[in-house]
Structure 1
């Protein structure tokens, strides 16, 4: 558990509900998740978070309806795991993990393109984290890739850092590049098109980003063996 920030039951009363997140959700929110593996290390991976379709916003600052659906049900944040990943196996084994909101581009690259394991569940780069229970609610396949869908229910949360939001194309370019790189070699995607996207995002990132963004692209190339 991280030493910084405030922690406790997500709703402050001891009974966490699925709407109690320390952030707003609008569209797909990119996060990192740590899950405990059989080697007692925490595996770090990228995880896209989906708000419930019935609600425009979910979180502790979601507006007058406090993130509740019009039908009165609890909103549920969901995520999908693709393939037989460590996150999928650890969700089955442990029933949850720690979702983290991170702005460090190097952590995003390492989490997406390598085996990235740490000794503690909360990353030093996390601005906020949420311990979640994961429950599988659906499964299927897209092409040759099997997927599973999970609801993520908060158990405990903490805010480590509050910052004035700024817009930097460099960080966005890193996230988009990791998505493209993770799809290389997948039959459903064209490798030539993905490499064009990688080159474009790298140019944007190196032009607009800081030294950490440039390091992230160096690391991405290393992970791809280039």
Structure 2
């Protein structure tokens, strides 16, 4: 592993992404922190200093992603680690009642956005013979729950794409990892409930969920393994959470 890494983090304006950016900065690395909220990125940059490059970017915009990668300044241009963190869940209605706009936004962000950034950065990694793609999946990509329909589907895609990307890049110095968190308290539920803070808070009532720092610690550990070690998949949950039971609909 290089002693100093250039780390490209998507969705860095809050939650996991901001914590991941801070962790790498604290350990002496450089970070390209991307997100849609310019003011949040500016706050992060003010706290982290010149080793962090804030970059306003919507990963759903393919042309903007390509332009952003092509325009990286020289000290940041050779990206060693890509953390595909940008993603969201919207709504919990059953499939027959769900909002199609919510479905489309999840697909555009969680799948297509991840693809755009991965495709833009992996050629450089292959050319340099080193690199690491770390994707943020979810336990929802393996374990279903009511209302998780398209969100779970997008995270199942992340899981399988990570495995296939690993197969494509094997032996070329580029590692691929997938992290699948369970319940974690960030803005995740606030976004899912379209800004309803009361509903979002209720999700975590009486629990001790994972934190953004827990995920940042996991990402950092994966990225700093020796170059010959590839962590394929990590699934983690808070102690208070376990796998869903089978749904059984009983007649009254």
Which is bigger in relative contact order (C-alpha 8 A, separation at least 6)?
A: 1
Name the structure with the higher helix share: 2
TM-score normalised by the chain length of structure 2: 0.27
TM-score normalised by the chain length of structure 1: 0.29
